[in-house]
Structure 1
Amino acid sequence: MKDLFSGHSKIYAAFRPDYPEAVYQHIMRHVKHKAIAWDCATGNGQVARALAHYFERVEATDISQQQLDNAYPSANIYYKVSAAEQTPFHDHQFDLITVAQALHWFDRDKFYKEVKRVGKPGGILAVWGYALLYIEPAIDDIITNFYSNTVGPFWDDARRLVEQEYKTIEFPFPEITTPKFSIDVTWSLEHLAGYLESWSATQKYIHKHQANPVSAVVESLRKHWEPAEIKTVSFPVFMRMGVI
């Protein structure tokens, strides 16, 4: 099990973007019953919080207790530490199983076997993630250089699956066509800096060099970002959905 986020769970919780409501609305159109959902690799509970508005009960698991310590509280969300590939759940419990920005870390063969065990026949598995952000060309060039060159050597190999938008992964479920989505947020330069610092590759860089590379990026970005200016930041969202 790869746990790349426990050491900076508070940063992760503070600066990661939320998914648009359109993502959940699309998923819910295909979910027949809304008794219980499982949000796997919930992190700080972003998806679990959204699912709690639709389902009577949400089970939310993660391998990181530190992540769960920073998760959103809700009366109908039940957080627990568990691997994706082996859970304490009963057979055929869940109407919906979700994985956001985490499938690339799993042993997918074992996870899919667990999905078939705990998911209800006819239930839905929805997995998704988001690609590298874009703002405007001059800023995008600086961030792309940071992503590819400065912290590029520190990305786990699994990151390639995100870059490929999960198109190359095996997905052994009858598939449902999904549209393109986008996360669109308005951020200050300071918030963007916090997001860049939350990257697992950035944290690996900091651990090795005992220096934060985001500081240099921020100085370069100041040429294109006025003090106190708020800019629109967009993340392309990709998704795969299937029937259990």
Structure 2
Amino acid sequence: MDLKLAGLTPEHSLAWDLSEHYEQVVGSDISGEQLKHAIQHPRIRYIHTPASISEDEMVNLIAGGHENSVDLVTVAEAVHWFDLPHFYSLVRRLLRKPGGVIAVWGYNDMVVSPDFDLLMKRHHEKMLPYYDPKSSYLWEGYRTLPFPFESVGLGREGEPMALEIHKELSFQGLLKLLRSSSAVTTAKDKGVDLLSEEVIEEIQGVWGRPDLVRSVTYKAFMLAGKL
């Protein structure tokens, strides 16, 4: 997927949130704590972008104040949380004209085995009341996500491109993934434990041994466009 996106931009000077294929990459997060855990790379510069930061400050931090200088903007599993009008305004200022591309993607399902998939479907139904309404974009596969950009052939507004992302995942990795869910946190604040020891034991029962690493397929979707 990274290679496909890199192939869409005629220049490879600066990307916001993608590595390997560009001379410079800027990774950003609203959480300073999250950035402490970011993987270090000689081409990547990480910046803290709290909600209070202005659009002009973002342009300065990402592109040194140079508008229309970013080749590629990507957002993985997060754009549904954004203030979309504000974010898209910033993207229009930053993207190179012509040639700049924005791509957003996410996933809302994981396929492992029939027993596991059925259990996780039931678990998801219990989590739904605790999700923020903004997450509805995610559960609808970004089909209803506003995306006012010209298609580049990798999904467009109302018609995301379907993707399958294959990964190896340990049981501990799975638990970490489940515990990171906003619904789990919200439920806990309300006195509901969605990942009790009983639930974890049930999940492990359909996963297999606690040290077992399994092949999983994330059902993902992407929208990509240009100005």
CA offsets 1:79-112 (integer angstroms, 9 cap, x no match): 1112597213321120111111111011111211
Q: Is the 8 A contact 2:3 2:21 kept in 1?
A: no
Q: Measure the CA separation in 2 of the matches of 1:85 and 1:175.
A: 28
Q: Which amino acid aligns with 1:119?
A: L
Q: Given the superposition, is the C-alpha separation of residues 59 and 225 from structure 1 closer, same or farther in structure 2, using an over 3 Å criterion?
A: closer
Structure 1 window deviating more from structure 2 (216-225 vs 108-117): it is 216-225
Whether the aligned pair in 2 keeps the contact of 1:98 and 1:127 (CA below 8 Å) is: yes
Gaps of 5+ in 2: 155-160
Could you list the structure 1 runs, at least 4 aligned residues long, displaced by more than 4 angstroms after superposition.
Answer: none
Q: Distance in 2 between the 1:143 and 1:214 partners?
A: 14
1:140 is aligned to: 117
Q: How far apart, in 1, do the equivalents of 2:44 and 2:169 lie?
A: 29
Alignment of 1:102-113 (within 5 A): 102-113=78-89
Match of 2:97 in 1: 121
Which of 175, 181, 186 lines up with 2:151 in the alignment? Answer: 175
Q: After superposition, what is the alpha-carbon deviation per residue over 1:187-224, rounded to whole angstroms, capped at 9, x for unaligned?
A: 23332222111111112222332746253322113433
TM-score under structure 1 length normalisation: 0.79
* Residue pairs, 1:1-244, within 5 angstroms: 23-39=1-17, 51-82=18-49, 83=51, 86=55, 87-89=58-60, 90=65, 91-122=67-98, 123-149=100-126, 151-178=127-154, 179-209=161-191, 211=193, 213-227=195-209, 228-244=211-227
RMSD: 1.9
Superposition TM-score, scaled by structure 2 size = 0.85
Unpaired runs of 5+ in structure 1? 1-22, 40-50
1:104 and 1:158 in contact (8 A); partners too = yes
Contact persistence 2:112–2:216 (CA under 8 A): yes
Answer whether contact 1:176 1:240 (CA < 8 A) is retained. Answer: no
Deviation per CA, 1:143-195, whole angstroms, max 9, x where unpaired? 1111111x221111111101111111221111122253212122233322221
Counterpart residue type for residue 219 of structure 2: P
- Compared with structure 1, are the counterparts of its residues 163 and 212 closer, same or farther at alpha carbon in structure 2 (3 Å cutoff)? closer
Task: Determine what percentage of the aligned residue pairs are the same residue.
Answer: 28
Equivalent residues, number: 210
8 Å CA contact 2:111–2:216 kept in 1: the answer is yes
Query: Matched residues in 2 for 1:225 and 1:237: separation?
Result: 21
> In the aligned structure 2, how far is the partner of 1:102 from the partner of 1:159?
9
CA distance in 2, matches of 1:204, 1:98: 27
Using the alignment, how far apart are the partners of 1:171 and 1:116 within structure 2? 12
